[in-house]
Amino acid sequence: MSIKPSTDSEGSGISQLSDEGSGISQPSDEVTLTVSDAARAVLSVSPQKWLTEGDPVTLNCEVDGSSTGWTFSWFTETLSLDLSDRYKPLSDSRRGAGGKYSVSSVALNHTGVYVCRAERGKPTYETWYSNTQPLWVTGVSPPVSLIISPSRTQHFTSDFLSLSCGDQSNSDRWTVRRYSDSGRPEDCSSSVSGSQTGSTCTISSTSTLDTGVYWCQSESGEKYNPVNITVHSDVILESPVHPVTEGETLTLRCLFKYTSPSNLRSDFYKDESLVQNQTIEMIIPTVSKSHEGFYSCKHPRGESLKSWISVRGSHSESQISVLKILTSVLAACPYLIVTVVLIYKCCRMRRKKPE
């Protein structure tokens, strides 16, 4: 018996066993080859992806099926179709082991779509890029405002919808972008019935595919004023487009497309808990930070999608606090001056006292 390479027509290269002189050959023993894919990183966000300027947030990156020895890198996703340019590393993208990227106080420029990746060993073994996780940060006074008409976050199908970036000083430098079910940022005009002219995007006939987060983006990549827009066929929640200021009144209505008037008695929910039932509208006379959350409505004709309502601090309250501090300091100044003068005089008298 001798081992000879196979010479079949397809050049398989499988060795065969041959009895000398007999011309009889048999296949070799089976060899099992196992090819393993690269491990995948999994990204999550805590406490939530909708944030108000100044809130804390943490991105958590884990490697599926493994736990130790990894070093993590962090990226934001771009509009580029070229895979080599699709992910832009953060300036402080490497934060060592642990898989946590924390920001104690988010700013407007933290708005974006994030991914992570992990590596370990020598030679370096890298995971695939993680799933995407968007962060949406609403600010107190952003330099540009996303103006939506009709002015609400939820819209019926087949509606006309206009979105524009309201910066009268330099409107040409802004473009409306969106993040939808496609899973990556794209131009607003990518909508089936969408078109972009300057800083204005119009959707002539909305569909459920137009559901997504829309924002204004500058030529240099700055992102401002993200708004979550949803499109539904029958029932929608009428809620304010932009954050509500503490102390203001918040009014919510449940609208049904096929009745006139469209607002009917409905149940209203916050974070999936019933807060008010069988009313035409839900009114919160004095909004506080505790009212921030996801709201929806329901009546026999159907149920709306959820809308995030953000609450920001009052400017007047901040100003009053500063004034109180200044007033207290000024009121205390005379006493401090008198105290210093008395101490100075006492010291001089002690020096002049004869021994």
Average pLDDT, the chain: 79
The pLDDT, as a whole number, for residue 33 is 42
How far is residue 70's CA from residue 54's CA, in Å, rounded to a whole number?
30
- Domains delineated in the chain: 41-138 (2.60.40.10), 144-233 (2.60.40.10), 234-314 (2.60.40.10)
pLDDT in the model for residue 11: 43
Which regions of 68-124 does DSSP assign to beta strands (E)?
71-77, 87-89, 100-103, 112-120
Q: Are 52 and 137 in contact (CB under 8 A)?
A: yes
Considering only CA atoms, which of 114, 131, 109 is closest in space to residue 49? 114
Instruction: Report helix, strand or coil for 272.
Output: coil
What is the C-alpha to C-alpha distance for residues 218 and 169, in angstroms, rounded to an integer?
13
Average pLDDT over residues 218-246: 90
**N- to C-terminal Cα distance for the chain?**
124
CA–CA gap between residue 181 and residue 173 (Å, rounded): 26
Nearest of 129, 106, 132 to residue 50 by alpha carbon: 106
Least confident of 110-124, 161-175, 177-191, 217-231: 161-175
Phi-psi label, residue 345: left if phi above 0, alpha if psi -120 to 50, beta otherwise: alpha
Q: What's the mean pLDDT in 189-218? A: 91
Q: What pTM was estimated for this model as a whole?
A: 0.70
pLDDT, position 80: 73
Neighbours of 211 (CB within 10 A): 18
CA dihedral 70, 75, 79, 81 (to 10 degrees): -30
**In angstroms, what CA-CA distances link 49 with 9, 106, 135, 305, 335?**
60, 11, 5, 17, 50
CA distance 293 to 275: 12
Q: What whole-number distance in Å separates Cα of residue 305 and Cα of residue 301? A: 14
Using CA atoms, how far apart are residues 87 and 183, in angstroms rounded to an integer? Answer: 13
pLDDT digits (tens, 9 = 90+) for 21-41: 555 666 666 654 444 456 889
